[in-house]
Amino acid sequence: MTYSQNFFLHVVCEGKSERNYLAALNRLLRDSGIGLTLLSPTPKKRDEDGGGHFRNVVQKYKDFRRNNRNVQPWIWVDWDLYLRNDQHCMELYESRPKGIPAFLFSIHNFEDFLVLHSSTERALEREHICRECNHFASPMHSEEYMPLFKSQFPEYKKGELPDSLAMLSNEQVENALIHSLDASIPFRCDFIEKLAEFIMARYPDAGSPWNVVKKKDE
Selected residue with higher pLDDT from 126 and 35: 126
Report the DSSP pairing between strands 74-78 and 36-39: unpaired
Residue 218 has pLDDT above 80, yes or no: no
b/e map 29-56, b = 16+ CB within 10 Å: beebebbbebebbebeeebeebbbbbeb
Give residue 44's pLDDT: 62
Return the SS3 of 194: helix
* pLDDT tens per residue across span 142-194: 999 999 999 888 999 988 999 999 999 999 999 999 999 999 899 999 999 99
* pLDDT tens per residue across span 117-151: 999 999 999 999 999 999 999 999 999 999 999 98
Distance separating alpha carbons of residues 16 and 43, to the nearest angstrom: 10
Q: What is the pTM of this model?
A: 0.91
Q: Domain boundaries in the chain?
A: 7-217
